[in-house]
Structure 1
């Protein structure tokens, strides 16, 4: 019987994995075979807590567990009092653009901000409320005003001055607009003006598309855009640390969508942005920031379209030449996720069966021998060695459990024998052969 699983976590695990996606919460309950990676990550988190910044690249085959690893890192970082955020690169979300695709990535990051009490995301307003409460307490203490009285509108100017002063101390680029909008957020907070708070949040999340609209709603002169969004992320990192958090961790998955950018100039501009972030973090230009990228080996190493096509990145990301399959270096920027072995898959399936039973309040008649039989049937299928991924194994196993739960008399062996192997991998190789536009 699995322990310490909350019903909400069990539901997220089962429903998400049946849908072919990684659950946002509860992944720690089904983790196997990644202890060395997690241990190295904890050491890196300690470095970031102490004011350093780090960039990591998690590289593995399709379905090897990259997204799962990022969600596990989230869980670990949240417990270490980090603010975390996840976003995927898509055809419309990237690091560099001149048509709104970069600020769209920023908006996705800000929309998914999570803290330990709100692990599913959407925590930006909670953080701002907490910070404003701290500013109000500081103002009350420094001016010998009671905590009850400080909320009176007659003291709002004192608090606004403190907000502006504090924001100016922690920001570099865009500090004036940043502090102005947060002041507007405070006005909405203290006056219970939900529309004003929503507009301030809309600006802070990069959702305004024109300066005119932002000026009408907030009186601010600029907006967050493709050119300044990274500076705003750094500003927020400093703000979160000033609140009392250990740092800001951002996970960027599906780097295949940078690899797929058809024009070499635009693709290189995105790689140049990665280089800027990398240099800022490792040269000490930014503090308490941890950024993770996830992609396949092709995304990293393809000489025409991958990160290695950008020489400055290649020189920084090449694997430690002394590393082998047996001797690993988890301190380097690139962490290669090796496939789970059969024993690890077996343990994973046992954990999933326990979570499934807990979620549905059942005790399915699936023994260790049945799990072994399922694995033997699956791994002996034609194409298994080439195409089978943990994602497909998990989904097939949970689908079978779902059938057995609803049809207790079904023949398990017959179900195992009906499994088919499909190649679910995206054909990345075709992009290497596309003629540059």
Structure 2
């Protein structure tokens, strides 16, 4: 049933799902019921490849598969030669701030940059070195200097000038310091100066706290901060495209943390920044850029705290009034993820059973009929219709498989009968909902 799955993917899938998180690799092997969304996404990728930019909002309840969908989008985009990055909104980072919280989001994005050969992230040094090698090769050809000689100190100014010229051609804001730091990275790369290379990488990832420290280490005037981090993301997008990549896709999950910002002024500033990025994408102010936000229905539609509380966003994100549950519009900015139906969940659980057996090199005595019995027990429990999520179904199923694996004589039906349904929503969100109702 599971074709072309790698052992590393098998272990990642099982360990991650048992822990209640989405695996970073291998999600394509457990995808069910999302073919329409994926086909529409592939079409969108083609638009971005051709120089357009897009912003999408993936909306669904807790545990409904938003994070899974973003990881699946990653897998598809990587195969289409995109550079991708994932980051979660948290109480400590935001898309707009003036106290360092936005640059923390930027740093998380840069830490998680991935390419097809490094799908788990951490690919920024690989990309920089690949780009530098492209510049070196070009200078070597233009100056008729061999590739081995061009790396000598005497030719260092030639390569430095080429880096500065190339970066200045593709950047608009902060290009000089951006180029200067990449030159420092090149010097560290060529001379084997790990300290210099590490400091340059530290700057590019937004990890310098003060301009003084950056000037001492790298001789630059500015650092990446809350006010310019988005410009730097656009610079990187242009750099990646100049290298031959299709574009830069950023996925931002857990957007409910913006909804939970306590002060209305701060929330509004964050929504204003989302509007600015949205307008950049759809007005052609940025090219080859694709940004995805994942959040709950409350994050989108709540008129006091959600995106719909910001009128300019509400007018752009309201759904197509001609769309129904049966007739979908996947071209609009907001994609609402429908819950998996029982047939799709059955297919998913049978796939997981096969992957579980592969991971533990076993063949558990769990039949299709047993899986059906498990589902009947689970979906008929009190609270299932209100609170049951795919994440909870998956985790309970894998936990039961683990018990059966280690205790082969156990009564499976007894295990199924011990299933309990709980409300997985975070307590602070439940409290916010209660306040909204008052």
| Common topology (TM > 0.5) | yes
Give the aligned partner of residue 334 of structure 1: 334
Give the aligned partner of residue 386 of structure 1: 386
Q: Does 1:88 align with 2:94?
A: no
How big is the alpha-carbon RMSD for the aligned residues of Structure 1 and Structure 2? 0.9
Mapping of 1:92-107 within 5 angstroms? 92-107=92-107
Mapping of 1:170-209 within 5 angstroms? 170-209=170-209
| Large movers: runs of 4+ above 2 Å | 426-435
Map Cα deviations across residues 63-116 of structure 1 (whole Å, 9 max, x no partner).
100000000000000000000000000001101111100000000000000000
Q: Does 1:140 align with 2:140?
A: yes
Mapping of 1:35-46 within 5 angstroms? 35-46=35-46
Return the alpha-carbon distance in structure 2 between the equivalents of residues 326 and 2 of structure 1.
Answer: 30
Map Cα deviations across residues 249-295 of structure 1 (whole Å, 9 max, x no partner).
00000000000001111100000000000000000000000000000
TM-superposed CA distance for 1:246, in Å, is 0.3
Mapping of 1:103-114 within 5 angstroms? 103-114=103-114
Give the aligned partner of residue 292 of structure 1: 292
3-state SS, counterpart of residue 58 of structure 1? strand
Return the alpha-carbon distance in structure 2 between the equivalents of residues 405 and 345 of structure 1.
Answer: 22
3-state SS, counterpart of residue 294 of structure 1? strand
Give the aligned partner of residue 277 of structure 1: 277
Give the aligned partner of residue 266 of structure 1: 266
Give the aligned partner of residue 411 of structure 1: 411
Return the alpha-carbon distance in structure 2 between the equivalents of residues 416 and 430 of structure 1.
Answer: 32
Map Cα deviations across residues 166-200 of structure 1 (whole Å, 9 max, x no partner).
00000000001000000000000000101100000
Return the alpha-carbon distance in structure 2 between the equivalents of residues 362 and 82 of structure 1.
Answer: 37
Return the alpha-carbon distance in structure 1 between the equivalents of residues 315 and 421 of structure 2.
Answer: 39
TM-superposed CA distance for 1:431, in Å, is 2.5
Return the alpha-carbon distance in structure 1 between the equivalents of residues 376 and 6 of structure 2.
Answer: 32
Map Cα deviations across residues 190-249 of structure 1 (whole Å, 9 max, x no partner).
001011000000000000000111111111111000000000000000000011100000
Is the CA contact (8 Å cut-off) linking 1:304 and 1:432 kept in structure 2? no
Give the aligned partner of residue 19 of structure 1: 19
3-state SS, counterpart of residue 42 of structure 1? helix
Give the aligned partner of residue 243 of structure 2: 243
TM-superposed CA distance for 1:147, in Å, is 1.2
Return the alpha-carbon distance in structure 2 between the equivalents of residues 370 and 156 of structure 1.
Answer: 68
Is the CA contact (8 Å cut-off) linking 1:12 and 1:26 kept in structure 2? yes
Return the alpha-carbon distance in structure 2 between the equivalents of residues 334 and 344 of structure 1.
Answer: 23
Give the aligned partner of residue 7 of structure 2: 7
Map Cα deviations across residues 319-342 of structure 1 (whole Å, 9 max, x no partner).
000000010000000000000000
TM-score by length of 2: 0.98
Return the alpha-carbon distance in structure 2 between the equivalents of residues 215 and 335 of structure 1.
Answer: 45
Give the aligned partner of residue 361 of structure 1: 361
Instruction: Report how many aligned residue pairs link the two structures.
Output: 435
Rate the CA distance shift 1:434–1:173 in 2: closer, same or farther, 3 A.
farther
Give structure 2 stretches of 5+ with no counterpart: none
Mapping of 1:251-262 within 5 angstroms? 251-262=251-262
Return the alpha-carbon distance in structure 1 between the equivalents of residues 310 and 423 of structure 2.
Answer: 30
3-state SS, counterpart of residue 115 of structure 1? coil
TM-superposed CA distance for 1:433, in Å, is 6.2
Is the CA contact (8 Å cut-off) linking 1:106 and 1:229 kept in structure 2? yes
Return the alpha-carbon distance in structure 2 between the equivalents of residues 36 and 104 of structure 1.
Answer: 34
3-state SS, counterpart of residue 216 of structure 1? helix
Give the aligned partner of residue 347 of structure 1: 347
TM-superposed CA distance for 1:408, in Å, is 1.1
Return the alpha-carbon distance in structure 2 between the equivalents of residues 46 and 110 of structure 1.
Answer: 24
Q: Does 1:161 align with 2:161?
A: yes
Give structure 1 stretches of 5+ with no counterpart: none
Return the alpha-carbon distance in structure 1 between the equivalents of residues 303 and 430 of structure 2.
Answer: 12
3-state SS, counterpart of residue 118 of structure 2? coil
Is the CA contact (8 Å cut-off) linking 1:136 and 1:150 kept in structure 2? yes
Return the alpha-carbon distance in structure 2 between the equivalents of residues 361 and 165 of structure 1.
Answer: 56
Q: Does 1:53 align with 2:78?
A: no
Return the alpha-carbon distance in structure 2 between the equivalents of residues 105 and 129 of structure 1.
Answer: 24
Give the aligned partner of residue 70 of structure 1: 70
Q: Does 1:304 align with 2:301?
A: no
TM-superposed CA distance for 1:426, in Å, is 2.4
TM-superposed CA distance for 1:151, in Å, is 1.2
TM-superposed CA distance for 1:149, in Å, is 1.2
Return the alpha-carbon distance in structure 1 between the equivalents of residues 205 and 143 of structure 2.
Answer: 33
Give the aligned partner of residue 430 of structure 1: 431
Return the alpha-carbon distance in structure 2 between the equivalents of residues 109 and 342 of structure 1.
Answer: 36
